Structure 1
Amino acid sequence: MTFEFFSATDVGRARDNNEDSVALDETVALAVLADGMGGYNAGEVASGMATSFIKSELGRWLEEAAGTVSDSDVKRAMDICVDNANRAIFNAANSNPKYAGMGTTLVVGVFRGERLLLGHVGDSRAYRFRDDRLIQLTRDHSLLQEQLDAGIITPEEAAYSSNKNLVTRAVGVEDTVMLETHLHEALPGDVYLMCSDGLSDMLDDDNIAQVLRSNNTLPETAAALIAAANDMGGKDNIAVILARMEGRTSAGGRSWWPFGRR
């Protein structure tokens, strides 16, 4: 099985600079997305460091491994690369006053045939669109999510909470960080969406699913997602990575694609 990828970022309608960053290495089916935080341009520095470091280090390791390693080996490599990126950002933040307090969320995906190893830190998200149904694969590391889990607030109240952007875990803010990683089955026709909260705060799951089912190509879909988020206010930077698993289903001898006919 092979994957088609596309990525895009947008400054949105309320910010002057873009602190979101994306990186793809299609030769090893690696996707990385980060949403930076910090004063001045520090968030931009943190997210750029995270995506470039992980693409370089993990991408090189995956290329050298050439598919001969186990999923647990890949998970360990992801942990090590994220830990090294965390230390680099943390050290930069503590050695340069302009970068004090900077950090970044992170989503990293390694697509391995019919499996996806998906890791994340913070509240940037990953979704899967399959059989016309959208599922959120990541669970936010945020105060808001903890309040939801504890039953302190309802999902309806969460939509208007002032705690929406308070993350409980981020890359670069402490000397260590834990990457939460899960293994997912990937099927022909699946579409995976990684995004920053500039998208998920503006669009609910129904809105995202409607955009995914209404556009034919990945570039068109990414542009439509960004446009929809901006139409809803564009209150933050917007980052999007789309990955589609190429392949055909065998049911009834027919092919199924989520984006119309190819």
Structure 2
Amino acid sequence: MSLEFFSATDVGRARDNNEDSVALDEDVGLAVLADGMGGYNAGEVASQMLTSFVRAELGRWLKESGAEASNADVRRAMDICVDNANRAIFNAANTNPRYAGMGTTLVLGVFREEGLLLGHVGDSRAYRLRGGQLMQITRDHSLLQEQLDAGLLTPEEAVYSSNKNLVTRAVGVEDAVMLELHPHDCQPGDLYLFCSDGLSDMLDDDTLRQLMLGHPSLSEAARALIDAANEMGGRDNIALVLVRAEGKVKAEGRSWWPFGRR
């Protein structure tokens, strides 16, 4: 299966600096997106530290070992890399007063022949467009999501919640972080979107779906998504990664999912 990648960031219409960061290593199927937080541009520092660290360290490991590694090996490498990046950001935040309290969300994807290994921390998201249907394949680590899960808010009420941007998990804010990591099957024709909340807060799922379907090239789709988010107010920085899978479907009965077909 072949993959096509595209990434973009935009400062939006309400902020002067861009605290979102993206990084790709197409040779090893690696995509990283981060949305930083913290004063004095510390969020920008945190997100750039994270994406640069993951691209360099995990990218190098995948080049050296990825082709022969099992999915369990890659998962361990992803966990270790994010843990090391978390400690680097945490230490920087605790040794430089200007960076105190900084942290960042994360969406991390490793596309392999067998499928996608997808990890995330915080409220940046991943979506999959398949057969014209859009599905969110990450679950926000946020107070708002916890309220939804507990039935304290309806989805309609959540749109207007004041807790929309309060994350319950982030990279760099504590000395340890848990990467939520899941495998997903990957089929020819799939289109994946990783994005910061500067996109997902501005555009509902149906608008995302229509814009992704309506533009054949990834660069055109990215431009349309960013423009639409800015037209809706552009209240935050916008970052996105688009990945399209092309190729032949594998023979039935060969599954990489370790616990049977999903």
- Shared topology, TM-score over 0.5? yes
1:186 equivalent to 2:193? Answer no
Render the CA deviation track for 1:97-120: whole Å, top value 9, x for unaligned.
000000000000000024000000
Name stretches of at least 5 consecutive residues in structure 2 with no aligned partner.
Answer: 251-262
1:58 paired residue number: 58
For 1:17 and 1:212, locate their aligned partners in 2 and report how far apart those are by CA, in whole Å: 27
1:226 equivalent to 2:226? Answer yes
Matches within 5 A, 1:111-260: 111-248=111-248
For 2:66 and 2:36, locate their aligned partners in 1 and report how far apart those are by CA, in whole Å: 31
Q: Give the residue type in structure 1 aligned to 2:34.
A: A
Shift of 1:40: 1.1
1:30 paired residue number: 30
Q: Give the residue type in structure 1 aligned to 2:239.
A: A
Shift of 1:216: 1.0
Percent identical residues: 75
What SS does the aligned partner of 2:192 have?
A: strand
Name stretches of at least 5 consecutive residues in structure 1 with no aligned partner.
Answer: 251-262
Q: Give the residue type in structure 2 aligned to 1:22.
A: V
Shift of 1:88: 0.2
What SS does the aligned partner of 1:161 have?
A: coil
For 1:79 and 1:96, locate their aligned partners in 2 and report how far apart those are by CA, in whole Å: 26
Q: Give the residue type in structure 2 aligned to 1:229.
A: A
For 2:219 and 2:37, locate their aligned partners in 1 and report how far apart those are by CA, in whole Å: 27
Render the CA deviation track for 1:4-34: whole Å, top value 9, x for unaligned.
0000000000000000000000010100000
Runs of 4+ in 1 over 3 A off after TM superposition: none
For 2:248 and 2:186, locate their aligned partners in 1 and report how far apart those are by CA, in whole Å: 12
2:73 paired residue number: 73
1:3 paired residue number: 3
Render the CA deviation track for 1:240-259: whole Å, top value 9, x for unaligned.
10000012569xxxxxxxxx
2:93 paired residue number: 93
* Root mean square deviation, CA, Å: 0.9
Aligned residue pairs, count = 250
1:260 paired residue number: none
Residue pair 2:107, 2:126 contacting (<8 A) in 1 also: yes
For 2:224 and 2:96, locate their aligned partners in 1 and report how far apart those are by CA, in whole Å: 39
Shift of 1:66: 4.0
- The normalised TM-score by structure 1 is 0.94
For 1:167 and 1:66, locate their aligned partners in 2 and report how far apart those are by CA, in whole Å: 32
For 2:52 and 2:2, locate their aligned partners in 1 and report how far apart those are by CA, in whole Å: 23
What SS does the aligned partner of 1:27 have?
A: helix
For 1:21 and 1:2, locate their aligned partners in 2 and report how far apart those are by CA, in whole Å: 25
